[in-house]
Amino acid sequence: MNDALNLLQPYPFEKLRALLAGVQPPAGKKPIALSIGEPKHRSPSFVVEALAANLEQLAVYPTTLGLPALREAIARWCERRFRVPAGRLDPARHVLPVNGTREALFAFAQTVVKRTDNGLVVSPNPFYQIYEGAALLAGATPHYLPCLPENGFNPDFDAVPADVWRRCQLLFLCSPGNPTGALVPLATLKKLIALADEHDFVIAADECYSELYFDEQNPPPGLLTACAELGHDDFRRCVVFHSLSKRSNLPGLRSGFVAGDAEILKSFLLYRTYHGCAMPVPTQLASIAAWNDEVHVRANRVLYREKFDAVLGILQPVLDVKRPDGSFYLWPRTPVDDQIFTRDLFAREHVTVVPGAYLSRGVDGLNPGADRVRMALVAPLNECVEAAERIRDFVRAG
């Protein structure tokens, strides 16, 4: 067996199940889960119809590179969304469809990490646990950068020692962040590109929440925006990860893409060819329909804005909680230990949240997720409101 498997920690939801094992919530209160970030809004009907209309293509072996029409649709979407000059992204060289960002983020680390004794994979802390597992199974050492409120819940990249950047092989970003919802500023992205060029590491920008934001007139920038403004025309050392899961409420479609550095994607394509993870043709054709439409995405944001407005109005009088820059998460501070808060909330109100400590790692005696919980506002509006009211009553009761 691969010895590196012994380095993996239990997934947060395994820890949550263990924490709540044996707890009997009140039978008279229906369960409300704010724990799993699975979109619950209706999937776009036209995407479902495109999928159904092309089921005969299940008889065709898909290619790992994907259909030219899908790569073209993705490239044009990136141009529109991130202000990339027309023609800068070559669909044949700079775009690769993937089966969701989770699979791609893990596989990407296996492709770019050199198995040296002192290589680092740097990530925010708290973080999406795939970053850590991908690093360990690629033979690298994870290095965690705390995301604290005094820095807007982003890492303090200026405080990172030069030796860490010299040893860094891969930097994971998540913007807007999971679980904090914090956006990495454009100026910071430009600074990180300069650091990557100086120290020769790769930036993997996980932007799967990029389409969940609050101001329709100011969509948040991404790593491709920074590349475009810098004239970083070859996107060297920069790769972004996007998905239809959150943007289009299609988590089960398992459809996303990576885009950026052509030389890196050439190697990633080789890895994926052996990995055996080509996207089925019906999925690709349905994905084209999704990437070519923004109407359903704007409607999706309206639903999330309604939930944030309602829930924050209920929770802010009793909890230290703020509206994030984006995503569908709240990251409130708890009045007691986050695990005790989670267990007692479930026991008394039948509402499930995730302890922040399960989403982060303690480093030098500091766990930036401690005494916080993650709440995913994915349930329908009425359920989110009811959950918020139960949480308010729970906190007030002490």
Q: 394 φ, ψ to 5°? A: -60, -45
Q: Of 242, 268, 293, which closes a domain?
A: 293
Please name the residues in contact with 139: beta carbons below 8 A apart, sequence gap of 6 or more: 4, 113, 115, 116, 119
Do 150 and 250 belong together in one domain? yes
Do 230 and 216 belong together in one domain? yes
CB 324, CB 341: distance < 8 Å: no
Query: Span 28-35, mean pLDDT?
Result: 96
Beta strand 354-355 pairing with 373-376: antiparallel
Read off the CATH number of the domain in which 264 is found.
Answer: 3.40.640.10
Do 286 and 316 belong together in one domain? no
Q: Quick check: is 52 in a domain?
A: no
Do 367 and 312 belong together in one domain? yes
Q: Quick check: is 125 in a domain?
A: yes
Q: Of 236, 258, 293, which closes a domain?
A: 293
Do 76 and 217 belong together in one domain? yes
Give the pLDDT confidence score for residue 353 in this predicted structure: 98
Tokens representing residue 134 in the block: 């991908």
In whole angstroms, give the CA distance from residue 20 to residue 16: 6
- pLDDT surpassing 90 at residue 124: yes
Residue 157 banded pLDDT, cuts 50, 70, 90:
very high
Do 300 and 288 belong together in one domain? no
DSSP-derived 3-state class of residue 203: strand
Give the pLDDT confidence score for residue 24 in this predicted structure: 95
327-358 pLDDT, tens digit per residue, is 999 999 999 999 999 999 999 999 999 999 99
Q: Quick check: is 56 in a domain?
A: no
Q: Of 245, 262, 293, which closes a domain?
A: 293
Do 82 and 21 belong together in one domain? no
Give the pLDDT confidence score for residue 398 in this predicted structure: 85
In whole angstroms, give the CA distance from residue 118 to residue 120: 7
Please provide the size of the chain in residues.
398
173-203 pLDDT, tens digit per residue, is 999 999 999 999 999 999 999 999 999 999 9
In whole angstroms, give the CA distance from residue 100 to residue 88: 24
Query: Span 60-76, mean pLDDT?
Result: 97
- For residue 342, give its domain range: 3-42+296-397
Q: Quick check: is 55 in a domain?
A: no
Q: Quick check: is 322 in a domain?
A: yes
What is the amino acid identity at position 386?
Answer: E
> Which value, in Å, is the radius of gyration of the alpha carbons in the chain?
21
* Number of domains forming the structure of the chain: 2
361-374 pLDDT, tens digit per residue, is 999 999 999 999 99
Residue 118 banded pLDDT, cuts 50, 70, 90:
confident
Give the pLDDT confidence score for residue 235 in this predicted structure: 98
Residue 117 banded pLDDT, cuts 50, 70, 90:
confident
Do 100 and 136 belong together in one domain? yes
Read off the CATH number of the domain in which 365 is found.
Answer: 3.90.1150.10
Mean pLDDT across the chain: 97
Give the pLDDT confidence score for residue 366 in this predicted structure: 93
Residue 101 banded pLDDT, cuts 50, 70, 90:
very high
Please name the residues in contact with 149: beta carbons below 8 A apart, sequence gap of 6 or more: none
198-254 pLDDT, tens digit per residue, is 999 999 999 999 999 999 999 999 999 999 999 999 999 999 999 999 999 999 999
Do 189 and 119 belong together in one domain? yes
Residue 116 banded pLDDT, cuts 50, 70, 90:
confident
Please name the residues in contact with 55: beta carbons below 8 A apart, sequence gap of 6 or more: 282
Count Cβ atoms below 10 Å from residue 180 Cβ, excluding itself: 29
Q: Quick check: is 49 in a domain?
A: no
Q: Quick check: is 90 in a domain?
A: yes
Beta strand 373-376 pairing with 120-125: unpaired
